[in-house]
Structure 1
Amino acid sequence: MPAPEAAGDALLLVDLQVDYFADDELARCRHDVVAACNRLADAAHRHGVPVVEIRTEHEPDRSTWTLTMLEDDQGVVVRDTPGAQRAEGLEPGEADCVVKTRDSAFFGTDLGERLAALDVRRVVLCGVSTESCVAATARDAFAHDLQVVLVSDATASLDPDEHDHTLEMLRVQHRQQVRTADEVVAAWDGDAPEGS
């Protein structure tokens, strides 16, 4: 049975894949982000919180490529390539998988239905990149009437200032919580006041 603070939660791991850590800034922080995500997944499993690994996978024939990928004539996270594999060190344990082709994990997927079937009322979001796929998923979670916790040290961006700006914007505009991985784990463990 989930701990009281964990009841109704789901952990979403967004785009923790090789291609998304190719940039120097993201490569630099990959180890820390992945370690924070692993801590969150471990705690989620202890408390019965569903874990969903969200992966982007594009078709080699370009049929799912975004406009910018087509303009740049460059595919990323193409199915069955090394770049589409999990980021090194990521070990989420037992996790459902949702495959997407656009920034939001809700767009063109059954994520909303899966979460509703599990009676999820709040999603804990981590992954990359903060200002694109994480933010798009957070906005769509808001549109699905889900509360959101954004995990500041388990998300990352090409630009650290953009990371901070995006988290603050989502906190203010959608009243979404911003916590550290340790704060989320402490709340699930019952070591933090509810709502902290």
Structure 2
Amino acid sequence: MGKSALIVIDMINTYDHPDAELLLPSAEKALPQVVRLLESARAADVPVIYVNDNFGQWRSHHGELLQLALDGENARLVEPIQPDDDSLFVVKARHSIFYETPLAYLLTRLGVDHVVLCGQVTEQCVLYSALDAHIRHFDVTVPHDAVAHIHEDLAQAAFEMMRRNMGATVQSTHETAAWR
């Protein structure tokens, strides 16, 4: 049996985009569960990998992206989930965490065969990342209470697609915290 990795998608965020007002309430609701996953993964020595949009700042590195988010008006959503010194960080440019990133290679080098996806946005980046993980033969778990959505109806449809079409396990954070 392989091992798991926790992947935090796009939570280092300035919330300075057109759908931010629709996303913020869901992000606030998911935040405590993301914190819980981070704490349990770190306690179990499970790799934590942040995969984050670069906000169009192509010369930035993860420290600059984090600082930009912490300097924003929604820093309260970033402070509790900051990467620690052991966290890994991958910058992405598009919706999927795998598209044109070294993530698949990194996961293989770490011996990971199961990814737990948390973060945002359920019906966009989480859905597309789950599909890309599935086609790369990773087992996928999505804690439904640790992902944020813009449109609840589309998020529910995304969960169903992940279950049916990708064989993903969609469950609560409480059920997910048993790391392998």
Identify the TM-score tier after normalising by the shorter chain. Answer: 0.7 to 0.9
Shift of 1:34: 1.7
The C-alpha deviation readout for 1:3-24, integer Å capped at 9, x for no partner, is x9xx510000000033347622
| Cα pair 1:130 1:156 within 8 Å, conserved | yes
Structure 1 unaligned blocks of 5 or more: 64-77, 190-196
TM-superposed CA distance for 1:132, in Å, is 0.9
Aligned residues: CA RMSD: 2.7
Question: Does the alignment pair 1:188 with 2:174?
Answer: no
SS class of match (1:131): helix
Match of 2:43 in 1: 46
Kindly name which structure, 1 or 2, has the bigger radius of gyration based on alpha carbons: 1
Residues 46, 179 of structure 2: 8 Å contact kept:
no
Distance 1:60 1:126, change over 3 A: closer
Match of 2:117 in 1: 125
* Deviations 1:71-114, CA, capped at 9 Å, x for gaps: xxxxxxx9688359774332443310000101111111100000
TM-score normalised over the length of structure 1: 0.76
Structure 2: state its 5+ residue gaps. none
2:151 paired with 1:156: no
Say whether residues 1:17 and 2:12 are aligned partners.
Answer: yes
Offset from partner CA, 1:45-76 (integer Å, 9 cap, x none): 11121000111104458x9xxxxxxxxxxxxx
| Residue matched to 1:193 | none
Q: Secondary structure at the match of 1:11?
A: strand
**How many pairs were matched up?**
168
Q: Relative to structure 1, is the Cα distance of residues 106 and 98 closer, same or farther in structure 2, using a 3 angstrom cutoff?
A: same
Name the residue aligned to 1:56.
53
Contact 1:38 1:91 in 2 (8 A): no
SS of residue in 1 equivalent to 2:112: coil
Amino acid at match of 2:164: V
Query: Which stretches of structure 1, 4 residues or more, deviate above 4 A after TM superposition?
Result: 78-81, 83-86
Report the Cα offset of residue 25 of structure 1: 3.0
Q: Name the residue aligned to 2:68.
A: 82
Say whether 1:111 aligns with 2:103.
yes
Counting aligned pairs with the same residue, the percent is 28
TM-score if structure 2 supplies the norm length? 0.82
The residue number in structure 2 matching 1:138 is 130
How far off is 1:30 after superposition?
A: 2.3
Q: By percentage of residues, which structure has more helix?
A: 2
Does the C-alpha gap of structure 1 residues 60 and 84 become closer, same or farther in structure 2, counting only changes over 3 Å?
farther
Task: Give the aligned residue type for 1:16.
Answer: M
